[in-house]
């Protein structure tokens, strides 16, 4: 008798387990149904872009009102947008419940341009190609010389025949980014990685040397230019980092052709590293 009672209790326990599983499945099904039926996209917001129309970005994303919020693959959407719009550096896609999708965009900023044959290509500080620039369009960014470009195309990172030049170029552009002097730099010469030169306005050739301590060299250049008069022309050498030298030359050749010998100096080279205002700006 005892054995029979034990079996009956066991059957009752098994039925309770099955009931629990069924209840769980019903709850999960209800949740899935609610996500599918109720959480649909009602609004799409785009922020952070000045280059592109929000409506164009939304169209490229493929997302439409009425789409299910949780059936959208955010990574696929981001990839589509980044492939289509070269100026977009980063996009964050978020769901804001109950029914809003948001695109937060960070855009690239032009930093320089480089020639490929007769074509001009605008790039950012990380050497991503932003756009082709027509011949009749003005460019107010420095020109990169001394590097050969391979198959340029908007939206990809610059490819140079000499691959060792690319990180050097990025270091120079990053060091200039956001500084007071960046708008006055007209050309960046990187043909010799140990002898990088800048052309500052129509007045100075700036000898930077290699990429060591570039930020300090840029700050020293700023200090030196601030000390010189508006009529000074010549060569500023900041390659030594701890000292700056200015060699006056009123007829200095700043053209892109091969460097020409400078005329005989009648004014001695000035060591600006000991002058107070310059020294304050090159402290280690």
pLDDT for the residue numbered 14: 58
Q: Rounded CA gap, 283 and 49, in Å?
A: 39
In DSSP notation, the chain reads -HHHHHHHHHHHHHHHHHHHHHHHHHHHHHHHHHHHHT-B--EEEEES-SSS-HHHHHHHHT--TTSBTTSS-HHHHHHHHHHH-TTEEEEEEEEETTTEEEEEEEE--EEEEEEETTEEEEEETT-BEEEEE-TTS---SPEEES--B-S--TTSB--BSSTTHHHHHHHHHHHHTT-TTGGGEEEEE-SSTTSEEEEETTTEEEEEESSTTHHHHHHHHHHHHHHS-TT--EEEE-TTSS--EEEE-TT---SSSSPPPPPPPSSPPEEGGGSHHHHHTS--
Domains delineated in the chain: 12-107 (3.10.20.310), 110-280 (3.40.50.10960)
What's the pLDDT band for 280 if we cut at 50, 70, 90?
very low
The mean pLDDT of the chain is 85
Asked whether residue 15 carries a pLDDT value surpassing 50, the answer given is: yes
pLDDT for the residue numbered 194: 94
C-beta separation of 249 from 235 below 8 A: yes
pLDDT for the residue numbered 264: 38
pLDDT for the residue numbered 193: 94
Lowest mean pLDDT among 15-19, 120-124, 148-152, 243-247: 15-19
pLDDT for the residue numbered 242: 86
Could you give the percent of the chain with pLDDT greater than 90? 73
Asked whether residue 158 carries a pLDDT value surpassing 80, the answer given is: yes
Lowest mean pLDDT among 4-8, 64-68, 247-251: 4-8
3-state SS of 135-165 is CCCCCCCCEEECCCECCCCCCCECCECCCCH
């Amino acid at each position: 008798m005892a054995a029979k009672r034990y079996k009956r209790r066991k059957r009752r326990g098994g039925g309770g387990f099955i009931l629990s599983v069924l209840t769980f499945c019903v709850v999960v099904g209800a949740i899935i149904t609610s996500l599918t039926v109720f959480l649909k996209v009602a609004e799409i917001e785009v922020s952070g872009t000045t280059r592109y129309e929000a409506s164009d970005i939304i169209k490229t994303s493929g997302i439409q009102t009425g789409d299910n919020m949780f059936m959208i693959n955010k990574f696929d959407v981001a990839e589509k947008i980044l492939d289509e719009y070269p100026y977009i550096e980063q996009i964050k896609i978020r769901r804001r419940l109950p029914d809003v999708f948001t695109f937060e965009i960070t855009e690239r900023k032009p930093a320089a341009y480089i020639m490929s044959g007769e074509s001009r290509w605008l790039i950012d500080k990380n050497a991503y190609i932003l756009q082709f620039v027509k011949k009749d369009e003005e460019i107010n960014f420095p020109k990169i010389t001394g590097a050969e470009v391979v198959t340029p195309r908007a939206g990809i990172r610059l490819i140079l025949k000499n691959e060792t030049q690319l990180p050097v170029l990025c270091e120079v552009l990053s060091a200039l980014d956001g500084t007071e002097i960046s708008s006055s730099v007209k050309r960046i010469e990187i043909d010799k990685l140990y002898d990088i030169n800048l052309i500052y306005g129509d007045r100075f050739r700036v000898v930077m040397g290699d990429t060591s301590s570039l930020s300090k060299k840029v700050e020293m250049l700023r200090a030196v230019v601030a000390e010189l008069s508006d009529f000074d022309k010549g060569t500023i050498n900041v390659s030594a980092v701890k000292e700056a030298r200015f060699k006056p030359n009123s007829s200095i050749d700043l053209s892109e052709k091969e460097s020409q010998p400078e005329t005989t100096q009648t004014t001695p080279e000035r060591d600006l590293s000991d002058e107070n205002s310059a020294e304050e700006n090159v402290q280690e």
